[in-house]
Structure 1
Amino acid sequence: METSLRYGVESKSLKIHAKEKIPLDSFTHLQFHGELDTKSGAPSYLSAVIRHFYKDLSVSLGVGMEYDRRQKLSYNVRGKRAFPVTTDGFLNFHVKGRCDTDQEFKQRKPKGSAEFSWDIVNFKKDQEVRIKVGYEVFEKVPYLQIRENNWTLNADVTGRWNVKYAL
């Protein structure tokens, strides 16, 4: 199980996040996420997704459902495709898409992004760094992610940001 502590400008409270992946076969897994808001002491987010990876195409597809205490129950479909930019695999271009819908399948919320991801192995001794620069197409917002070992900082040009520490 992967666990992390998360804090961001939108929630203004520390959240404890957990993720578990259960393999169903070599290229398919069931993924669960849960988040506990330390301010309210209640779960703020729960999700279950079935994801399948098409290794030869560098594509993943997922279908799932999630509960968010603000938006209640919703369903989603997501896909991601990676295109290697360099032969060593450390610089990639990703195209991501997702569509969330309410429980009546009436209100849809699409998301899509294009991003470059650069993995720097041994940036310093025992230090790995990942830098992502991307653009969210539907919101028309550029964003940045910097990840160093267990720390991740996400920010966009609208002033939204969050920080995550993987335990």
Structure 2
Amino acid sequence: MSEPNPAWFGNRPNPEFREPGWTNRNWLKSRFHFNFAEYDEGPSGFGVLRVMNDDLVQPKRGFGMHPHRDMEIVTFIIQGSLTHRDSTGTDETIGRGGVQFMTAGTGIRHSEHNLQSTALRFVQCWVVPRRRGLRPKYGSMLGNAEAEGMRWNRWAHVVCDADGEHKAPVQIYQDCNVFLF
């Protein structure tokens, strides 16, 4: 589990937040499934899947503006709401059941914040694209009651290869499919 210094991501001290299990030091709790950041006790990925982190973000905290390039990043919102802003002009908040995705390509800067008063939990996957230097883009699949009702007790094809024959709401540049139940 990783609990990085809040200042690394533009967070100020937060002494007024008092909930069991949280401190200023652990504003973010990340469980890494592969070697990432300071964690180096596991595998370095699984095929084209480079990163899979299960993140829990304290209320009113987040990741300040930071860069990415040549990576497909897909984020699944499990609990709460995630606010995303980036250098393409995107400014969007996605709630539970939603999915956001970015083709970092030639370079993109973005921030992600939990602006709510309750904890945010998401799973983020980084997938190595089939080619470098793609045009950066952002997209999302909103998680709302209607969409969840259509998916209730059913498999849903959520992520697909943008160059493939099958289509899903989230399209990335790699032979990668994700189905949710």
Structure in which a larger fraction of residues adopt strand: 1
Q: Same fold (TM over 0.5)?
A: no
Structure with more helix by fraction: 2
